[in-house]
Amino acid sequence: MKNAIAIAVFGFFAFLLTAQQGTAAELKSVRFGPESGKTRVVFDIVGAPAYALSGDELGNGRLFVDFKGLSIPPTALALQPAMGHVANYQFVKNGENGMRAVLTLKKTAKIGEYFVIEPTAKVANHRLVIDLLKGDKAAFIASIPAQYPDLGPVIEQATAVGAADVAPKPAVQREVAAPPAKRVIVVAAGHGGKDPGAVGQGGTLEKTVTLKASKALKEILEKTGRYDVVLTHNADNDPRLIPNQAKELARRESLARNANAALFISLHADALERKDVRGGSVYTLSDKGTERSAKVAKTEGNYTVYQLDTREFKDNEYVGDMLFDIAQGKTNSASSQFAAKLLKKLAGKTPLLNKSHRKADLRVLLAPDVPAVLFEMAYISNTEDEANLNSAAWRKRTMGAVASAIDEYFEENQQQYAQTGGAGGN
């Protein structure tokens, strides 16, 4: 019984790391894409990779990517030249079934986003992507994902059962449900009811334009036949709206989790004292928000992530926290991945701010297992942006770009979502 539970937990770990431990995979190539202030590292791999990131402070810093069950060509064991922030790299054996990629930094950097792109009709291989951004050594160390050594003994201790406790724990041994026919997208129109939000110079209310945009996006997405779209409210007098703003925001997050949503999009219209500023932007959760997410989950007693109730490990809270932290890291990476696609699709369709991808501690983005973004569509305080927000043609064009980004996001993650039935957790 003890071993069965431990295996189930390790299987869950592997899912969060986008592969099962020990699954055979084959390295085809390592590529580097240097840009101004950024270097993208891409590992092309046949089969889903099981991996973990770490590093040390030697020289300008070294990034380690530990793989399980990865076979490599013999040449990869020799030192290879690299580009951008990376001076060189090589693979070394790491344990019985492990290979470690050692990337020596030429100049200090920090880890930005990292994620796996699933195979598509055009690209047969999995691609592990790691973005290195400009940063000092302290930023590099801070950006390394939390490490949890000695997982085996910790989990075995946490999941040990006595002779009287022989029944399996459903939350741990729960099988992944069959994938739904359609992915669930939750769209939240900013504000609503007694909360008007910002007001434009011409008297336009934020709650009015966000509701119209949410309905337009719902219509576009549902016409594809690929999505079930859930709106947080359908009208300004929707009885689900809660006058208390904090409770309403919490309701929206819970709605996304309870719907087992694959994506959460919150639509807003920003405002400033300066009336000349215009353009859209996309927010994802900041590091501070990530910390608050865990605190909120504990306070509310909803510590379930990706269908696993981490409270099952009540005898060892360390394991529950560890699982929650890993899940959050995966969700945040997916959120940033979608944000990048969204901004790319919006370019040329609507004005955008120069620094259009921003991070903030926003309550509505706190779900630890639902990728989420907040799209500030425009500045309602600017007369030109206000006119756009009131334009049906602009709304159709802009929401069409959002829908296109959603399509591309799921196309790249097709296999993952086919296996899990979405990214929602409850």
Per-residue confidence (pLDDT) for residue 174, from 0 to 100: 43
Contact 380, 269 (CB under 8 A): yes
Write the CB contacts of 313 (distance below 8 Å, at least 6 apart in sequence): 158, 159, 319, 320, 323
Pure H helices in 282-316: 287-300
Q: Extract the residue ranges of the chain whose pLDDT is less than 70.
A: 1-23, 146-181, 289-324, 414-426
Token couple for 45: 């791999």
What residue has token string 């992915």? 183
Token couple for 316: 């060892």
Q: CB burial class (10 A; 0-12, 13-18, 19+) of residue 2?
A: middle
Per-residue confidence (pLDDT) for residue 15, from 0 to 100: 41
Q: CB burial class (10 A; 0-12, 13-18, 19+) of residue 322?
A: buried
User: What's at 27, amino acid-wise?
Assistant: L
Report how far residue 396's alpha carbon sits from residue 409's, in angstroms, rounded to the nearest whole number.
20
22-151 and 183-420 agree in CATH topology: no
- 188-192-193 Cα angle (round to 5): 140
| DSSP bridge partners of 116 | 128
Domain regions of the chain by residue span: 22-151, 183-420
Among residues 426, 410, 425, the alpha carbon closest in space to that of 183 is found at 410
Per-residue confidence (pLDDT) for residue 299, from 0 to 100: 60
To 10 degrees, the CA torsion angle through 162, 167, 171, 173?
Answer: 100
Contact 218, 232 (CB under 8 A): no
For 222-236, what is the HEC assignment? HHCCCEEEEECCCCC
Is residue 68 within a helix (H) or strand (E), and if so which, with residue range? strand 62-68
Class of domain 183-420: alpha beta
φ, ψ at 348 (rounded to 5°): 90, -15
CA distances from 177 to 122, 174, 221, 260 (A): 28, 9, 24, 11
Per-residue confidence (pLDDT) for residue 52, from 0 to 100: 85
**3-state secondary structure at position 203:** coil
| DSSP bridge partners of 360 | 285
Class of domain 22-151: mainly beta
CA distances from 19 to 5, 48, 256, 298, 383 (A): 19, 5, 25, 28, 49
96-131 residues labelled b (16+ CB within 10 A) or e (exposed)? eeebbbbbbbbebbbbbbbbbbbbeeeeebbbbbbb
Hey, what long-range contacts does 87-93 have (CB within 8 A, 24 or more apart)? 87/60, 89/30, 91/27
Helix 392-412, helix 317-346: angle, nearest 10: 130
Report how far residue 45's alpha carbon sits from residue 130's, in angstroms, rounded to the nearest whole number.
14
Report how far residue 146's alpha carbon sits from residue 402's, in angstroms, rounded to the nearest whole number.
33
How much is the pTM? Answer: 0.60
Write the CB contacts of 386 (distance below 8 Å, at least 6 apart in sequence): 200, 201, 202, 204, 378, 380
Hey, what long-range contacts does 191-195 have (CB within 8 A, 24 or more apart)? 191/268, 192/232, 192/233, 192/236, 192/238, 192/241, 193/233, 193/236, 193/237, 193/238, 193/241, 193/243, 194/241, 194/243, 195/243, 195/245, 195/248
Per-residue confidence (pLDDT) for residue 1, from 0 to 100: 36
Per-residue confidence (pLDDT) for residue 139, from 0 to 100: 87
User: What's at 41, amino acid-wise?
Assistant: V
